[in-house]
């Protein structure tokens, strides 16, 4: 009986060895596409709001002892994604002079100092560049606004709107 079992094993082994060692194979390809568009994000004073608004307030002081009024600094946070070598520009433009009814304070009496990636400048009704970079990235800085304090100003509460624009190609 042992011989019969071994004979059966040998026959089965021979059959397996005689069979083809090739196996069936099939391949496929998946093509991946990632669409990455230019994108820009501006945050003023860490606000995540859809509409960025920040208020600057100057408190009154004696022009003889305080020739320049200074507002509290605020954060400017810029994120941009552009193509290789693409320019990123951050500007600010005033909508006009500071006004209180018919009284005005010329907008060029308003200036700012910048830190980090933000530069200083003087307000104007045409766009003034605050920052200019090449390539994608995240830039941060602060701005501190100052207003020339003068005895010539009529009393009142003056306002002006400043528009920040972050532009990418």
pLDDT digits (tens, 9 = 90+) for 49-80: 555 678 899 999 999 999 999 999 999 999 99
Kindly list the structural domains of the chain, giving each domain's residue range(s) and its CATH number in brackets, ordered by start.
39-54+65-167 (2.60.40)
Check if the beta carbon of residue 116 is closer than 8 Å to that of residue 140.
yes
What pTM value is reported for the model? 0.77
């Amino acid at each position: 009986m042992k011989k019969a079992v071994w004979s059966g094993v040998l026959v089965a082994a021979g059959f397996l060895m005689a069979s083809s060692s090739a196996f069936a194979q099939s391949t496929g390809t998946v093509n991946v596409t990632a669409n990455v568009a230019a994108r820009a994000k501006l945050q003023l004073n860490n606000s995540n709001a859809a509409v960025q608004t920040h208020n600057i307030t100057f408190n009154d002081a004696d022009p003889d002892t305080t020739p320049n009024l200074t507002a509290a600094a605020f954060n400017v946070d810029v994120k941009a994604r552009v193509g290789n070598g693409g320019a990123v520009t951050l500007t600010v433009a005033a909508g006009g002079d500071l006004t209180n009814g018919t009284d005005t304070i010329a907008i060029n009496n308003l200036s700012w100092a910048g830190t980090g990636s933000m530069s200083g400048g003087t307000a104007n009704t045409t766009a003034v560049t605050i920052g200019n970079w090449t390539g994608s990235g995240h830039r941060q800085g602060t701005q501190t606004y100052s207003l020339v304090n003068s005895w010539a100003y009529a009393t009142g509460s003056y306002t002006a709107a400043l528009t920040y624009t972050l532009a990418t190609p």
